Amino acid sequence: MPVPPDATLSDVGEFGLISELVALFTQGEHVLVGPGDDAAVLRIKGGHVVVSTDLMVEGRHFRRDWATAEDVGHRAAAQNLSDINAMGGRAHSLTVGLAAPPDLPAAWALDFARGFAAECALVGASVVGGDLTRASEVVIAVTVIGACTQAPVLRSGARPGEVLALCGRQGWAAGGLAVLGRGFRSPRALVEAYRRPEPPYDAGRTAAEAGATAMIDVSDGLLAEAGHLAADSGVAIDVRSGAFELAEPLQAVGAALGSDPLHLVLGGGDDHALLATFPAGSVPDGWLVVGEVLESGEPGTVTVDGAAYEGPTGWTHF
């Protein structure tokens, strides 16, 4: 359906806008996977190039009073490196665009760069260029380039009868954000998880080598990302709530806020864990089976313990 001329971004929604934008960009013969997955995949002589871009906007994705410049640098790099990880690849190069107010301390920009570089070093990636310009608030734009040593794992390969598995910490960053939003700084472990996520950088390649059929980075919420796998694969997915360990810090935040800590796990983002589907019996070490791809059910739907989930499923940008 065409977008009405008076529609706003809020009216159209993030994914409605993305679908309209994708239709405007013609893909050349060198494009193996275009917009719509965690990263694009380009054909080159002797392999694939994997590319992704992400943005961080002050006041929307971070606050300078909640995190140091180095923390923001780590987060900006992590969310981009994780997209390549989710394809079963490894990042090797990044470019960074920084727009900032003229009165931003130069020390902030330098500390941001130090944190960004330190996170990139965890995977051996290099910052190979970028741009600086003036803006009313800090805006960070990152493009990451990587490679796959095997066929990239897309979101569209899940099949009925397979299992859904998770690798990495989940719900901790959401707990930290909830704490900071209430003006507190503890549990410290959750606040630090929000400030500096710890993506499982080796897990993507391991999953690909083990035969993962579909995979995604959990940036906006576990159920929301499971929904992308279900929609792109044309399957129904059921998540088992009892599969998750609710660590003590999550329980403490739940008790303090009067909410179910499971909501943080199922609906929270920013930990950049990986969610993938595997044929039964092929889940590698370090991955936790948290659900299954159903033999029946409405394609594109995600349930929890066999029923529709009434809690938050993830972050929406508009």
Structural fold of domain 34-148: 60s Ribosomal Protein L30; Chain: A; (3.30.1330)
What does each C-alpha distance from 7 to 1, 3, 11, 17, 25 come to in angstroms? 12, 7, 6, 11, 21
Three-class SS state of 72 = helix
CA distances from 56 to 34, 102, 139, 143, 266 (A): 22, 18, 6, 12, 23
Domain boundaries, the chain: 34-148, 163-304
Contact by Cβ (8 Å): 113, 231 = no
When the candidates are 3.40.1190.20, 2.70.50.60, 3.30.390.50, 3.90.650.10, the CATH number that belongs to 163-304 is 3.90.650.10
CA–CA distance, 186 with 122 (Å, rounded to integer)? 27
Alpha-carbon gap, residue 235 to 279, rounded angstroms: 14
152 and 89 Cβ atoms separated by less than 8 Å: yes
Give how far the C-alpha of residue 227 lies from the chain's centroid of Cα atoms, to the nearest Å: 13
Beta pairing class for 237-239 and 302-304: parallel
- Rounded to the nearest 5°, which phi and psi values hold at 141? -120, 125
Q: Which residues neighbour 7 within 8 Å (Cβ) at sequence distance 6 or greater?
A: none
Q: What is the pTM of this model?
A: 0.87
pLDDT tens track of the chain, all 318 residues? 677 888 886 787 767 767 786 776 677 787 788 777 887 887 777 778 999 999 999 999 999 999 999 999 999 999 999 999 999 999 999 899 999 998 999 889 989 999 999 999 999 999 988 888 889 999 999 999 999 988 999 999 999 999 999 999 999 999 999 999 999 888 999 999 999 999 999 999 999 999 999 999 999 999 999 999 999 999 999 999 999 999 999 999 999 988 899 999 999 999 999 999 999 999 999 999 999 999 999 999 999 999 999 888 887 776
